[in-house]
Structure 1
Amino acid sequence: MSNEKNARLDMDEETLFTASQIFKALSEPTRIKILHLLNEKECSVNQIAQALALQQSTVSHQLRLLKNLRLVKFRREGKTIYYSPDDNHVMNLLEQTLKHAHHD
């Protein structure tokens, strides 16, 4: 076995915990909706709330959790904060999962 494969198999407790927290975050339908929307376009809290018919407080709460897990990032433009996916790894996983769930 190559060193690269061994490195992938040697998962420390912190890595395992983080991975489990990501899957836990992806297990909630509201967060999936938010991530799916953000994968399509960058949005503010207001835009997300309006697009998904959610309360602003609900969106803010979910974004805080997603931000803490580094699943979303933000940028400020004046007083408005815009959110987008932090990277494509989890977004690719999410999109593949949605395709699989939709597959007959």
Structure 2
Amino acid sequence: MEKRMKQLPDQVLDRVADYFKVLSEPTRLRLLHLLHERERSVGELVEATSTSQANVSKHLKVMLNAALVARRPEGTSAIYSVADETVFRLCNSVCERIADRIENEAEQFRAVSFVDSN
């Protein structure tokens, strides 16, 4: 018996695409990785990424709007933390898939011989 996939509404697909757009920026992935270690202030993130404060703040705002990070005030600073831990399962899954593809490609290269060794 053939199993048919349910068609997803455009609104759902748009939301999923927006989520992936947030994750498509390398600086945001770096920030998430740093925040996975521990919560940090904007200044700490600027120092750790060697990126401007304006750039870090811009990316944090995008991730805050996507509910990937949380923000809390602490004195005159803002402290950021990861709000959605599921993002790491997704990233790990993607990294594992990429690693598998790279390993498979490497095996194909190893199997190729341009010169007969006999």
Q: Tell me the CA shift for residue 60 of structure 1.
A: 0.3
Q: How many angstroms apart in 2 are the aligned matches of 1:52 and 1:27?
A: 17
Return the TM-score normalized by structure 1.
0.80
Residue ranges of structure 2 left out of the alignment (5+ in a row): 1-5, 104-118
* Per-residue deviation, residues 49-93 of structure 1 (Å, max 9, x unmatched): 100111000000000111111111111111111111112111221
Instruction: Tell which has more relative contact order, 1 or 2 (C-alpha 8 A, sep 6+).
Output: 1
The residue that corresponds to 2:30 in the other structure is: 33
Q: How many angstroms apart in 1 are the aligned matches of 2:17 and 2:79?
A: 27
The residue that corresponds to 2:108 in the other structure is: none
Alignment of 1:1-104 (within 5 A): 11-102=8-99, 104=103
Return the TM-score normalized by structure 2.
0.71
Q: How many angstroms apart in 2 are the aligned matches of 1:70 and 1:41?
A: 17
Larger radius of gyration: 2
* Per-residue deviation, residues 20-50 of structure 1 (Å, max 9, x unmatched): 1111111111111011111111011110010
Identity %: 34
Aligned residues: 96
